[in-house]
Amino acid sequence: MKLLLFLFLFISLSVYSQGSIPYAKIERAFKMNQAKEIVSFGKDKMLVSILGKEGVYSKSQATLVLGDFFNRKPGDKFKFHFKSKESADGSFAIGKYFSKGEEFRITIHFKKMGDSFKIESLTIERA
């Protein structure tokens, strides 16, 4: 009986976590100003808009653009305060990023691709 319960629990958790958005990893990457880690959760081409300047970038270009923002505005705090429901089309989340007394609103749109969600767009604007 315990074996059946263990197998059921194991299968349930692995199926649930397979397609979920890695919010905790993204939050940690923002707190640590890890542009490459954030972009690793993105599509091959993603829309990045930072303080009104936007473009569609490859992962390597997006890493440079986001890294430049982090160099200019190093963060000390980030937290998602809204996460939409995950659907067959995608999802989005809104968070707050703090840098030297400044507050920024981060909006991330995720696209469902196969069994996982990838960042489709990332917007940073003053709060």
- Give residue 37's domain range: 22-126
Q: What does the pLDDT average to over 20-43? A: 97
Tell me if 104 is assigned to some domain: yes
Please say if the pLDDT value at position 19 is more than 90: no
Specify the pLDDT at position 1: 59
Is residue 4, in this structure, part of any structural domain at all? Answer: no
Residue 38 token pair: 């954030």
What average pLDDT does the chain have? 89
Residue 41: pLDDT over 50: yes
Residue 88 falls inside a structural domain = yes
pLDDT at 2: 53
9 occurs within a structural domain: no
Residue 90, pLDDT score:
94
pLDDT at 18 over 50: no
Report the distance separating Cα 83 and Cα 27, nearest Å. Answer: 12
Number of domains composing the chain: 1
- Residue 7 resides in a domain: no
CATH of the domain at 41: 3.10.450.50
pLDDT tens for each residue of 86-126: 999 899 999 999 999 999 999 999 999 998 999 999 999 99
In a domain, residue 2? The reply is: no
Is 37 part of any domain?
yes
In a domain, 10, yes or no: no
What does the pLDDT read at residue 76? 85
